[in-house]
Amino acid sequence: MGRGRSTEQEGRAVDVSSTGAPTVVGAGAHAVPSSWATRAGVTMLHIANHTPSAVTVYLAAVLAAATAVSVLEDWAFGDAVWWAFVTTTTTGYGDLSPATAAGRVIAVVTMFVGIVGIGVIVGRIAAVVIRTRDDFTHEEQVDLSHDSDEQLRLLREIQAQLEAGDAAPTADQEDSANRAP
């Protein structure tokens, strides 16, 4: 993929590829296009992977939906909060439902936010519950990787010696040589 023109964006040098997507220059092999959508996606992933943030965003969405529906439908705020929680959890008792078009649009968005939000929160809790003490830490994984790299290097060295005919006799070969008359 060829590089295109270079330009300045937010005080950083960026390179515009043939696709037209700006990429931060010098960002390394894992450079990703720099755009508002990318930044929003990264922020959403951070929130989804941080349980307190996910719960906070979920509760803020519930309160925002309740406030909007309370105003649009002329409901008491407590009733609107009840409706928002019932809607986000997809329980849907049916005791309250918006009658205006704007209220129904907010209801659809609230349903979607609830499905995604509850899914993220339950997923995060499940990840914590099923995590075992036997999981390797990052440092342990790095050590194991270095150990396996060293073992592979030694195996290749032995293979090269065997192919060259320079291999030292094994312990079994030495024992049988010592027993021979």
Indicate whether 11 belongs to any domain.
yes
Asked if residue 68 and residue 19 are part of one domain, the reply reads: no
Structure tokens at 33: 């296009």
Q: Which of 86, 114, 130 is the last residue of a domain?
A: 130
| Residues 22 and 53 grouped into a single domain | no
Query: Has residue 168 been placed in a domain?
Result: no
Residue-by-residue DSSP string for 39-105 = HHHHHHHHHHTSHHHHHHHHHHHHHHHHHHHHHHHT--HHHHHHHHHHHHTT---SSS---SHHHHH
66 and 23 together in one domain: no
* Residue ranges making up the domain that contains 22: 3-34
What confidence score (pLDDT) does residue 36 get? 78
24 with 56, same domain: the answer is: no
CB 23 within 8 A of CB 11: no
Q: Is residue 141 assigned to a domain?
A: no
Evaluate whether residue 28 is within a structural domain.
yes
Q: Specify the amino acid at residue 36.
A: W
Residue 74 lies in a domain: yes
Instruction: Report the C-alpha gap between 167 and 163 in whole angstroms.
Output: 8
User: Are residue 18 and residue 76 in the same domain, yes or no?
Assistant: no
Q: How many CB atoms lie within 10 A of CB 114?
A: 22
pLDDT of residue 141: 87
What are the residue ranges in the chain where pLDDT is below 50? 1-21, 25, 27
The C-alpha atoms of residue 77 and residue 64 are separated, in whole angstroms, by: 11
- In sequence order, what are the beta bridge partners of 8? 13
Q: Which of 112, 130, 148 is the last residue of a domain?
A: 130
Any domain includes 52: yes
Same domain, 54 and 89: yes
Number of domains the chain is built from: 2
Residue 180 lies in a domain: no
Largest CA distance in the chain: 107
Termini Cα distance of the chain: 70
Is 100 part of a structural domain of the chain? yes
- Please name which of 128, 137, 65, 69 lies closest in space to residue 101, comparing C-alpha atoms: 69
Q: What is the CATH number of the domain that holds 124?
A: 1.10.287.70
Report the pLDDT value the prediction gives residue 50, as an integer from 0 to 100.
Answer: 78
Q: Do 20 and 52 reside in the same domain of the chain?
A: no
Question: What sign does the dihedral 117-50-143-30 (CA atoms) show?
Answer: positive
- The per-residue pLDDT for range 10-51, each reduced to its tens digit, is 444 444 444 444 555 454 555 555 687 788 778 778 777 778
